[in-house]
Amino acid sequence: MISATTAKDRVLSGMQPSGALHIGNWMGALDNWVNMQDVYDSYFMVADYHSLTTGYHDTRGLPTLVFQMVVDWLAAGLDPKRSVIFRQSDVPEHAELHLLLSMITPLGWLERVPSYKEKLKELAQRDIHTYGFLGYPVLMSSDILLYRASKVPVGQDQVPHVELTREIVRRFNGLYGEVLLEPEAILTEAKVLPGLDGKKMSKSYGNTLALGESAESIAKKIRVMMTDPARVRKSDPGHPEVCPVFSLHKIFTGSQQVQEIDGACRTAQIGCVDCKAILASQINAQLDPIRERRLEWEEHPKQVQEILQQGAREAQKTAHDTLTMVKDAMHLNSLE
Ligand code: TRP
Ligand code: SF4
Q: How far is CA 19 from CA 79, 198, 212, in A?
A: 19, 23, 11
Q: In the annotation, is 117 catalytic? A: no
Q: Of 189-193, 199-203, 311-315, which one has max mean pLDDT?
A: 311-315
Q: Is the pTM of this model over 0.85?
A: yes
Percent of the chain past pLDDT 70, that is, above it, reads: 98
Q: In the annotation, is 221 catalytic? A: no
Nearest CA residue ID for atom 8, ligand 2? 272
| Pairing status of strand 10-15 against strand 41-46 | parallel
CATH of domain 10-193+301-329: 3.40.50.620
**Of 141, 187, 186, 148, which Cα lies nearest the Cα of 165?**
141
In the chain, the amino acid numbered 318 is T
DSSP string, 296-322: HHHT-HHHHHHHHHHHHHHHHHHHHHH
Fold (topology level) of 212-295: Tyrosyl-Transfer RNA Synthetase (1.10.240)
Residue 280: nearest ligand to its CA? 2
Please tell me if the domain spanning 10-193+301-329 has the same topology as the one spanning 212-295: no
27 Cβ below 6 A of ligand 1:
no
Nearest CA residue ID for atom 3, ligand 2? 272
Domain segments of the chain: what residues?
A: 10-193+301-329, 212-295
How many CB atoms lie under 10 A from the CB of residue 155?
A: 15
245 Cβ below 6 A of ligand 2:
yes
Q: Which atom of ligand 1 is nearest to the CA of 140?
A: 9
DSSP string, 170-229: HHHHHHH-S-S---EEEEPP--PPB-TTSSBP-GGGT---BTT--HHHHHHHHHT----T
Give tens-digit pLDDT for 78-125. 999 999 999 999 999 999 999 999 999 999 999 999 989 888 888 888
222 Cβ below 6 A of ligand 2:
no
Specify the pLDDT at position 149. 97
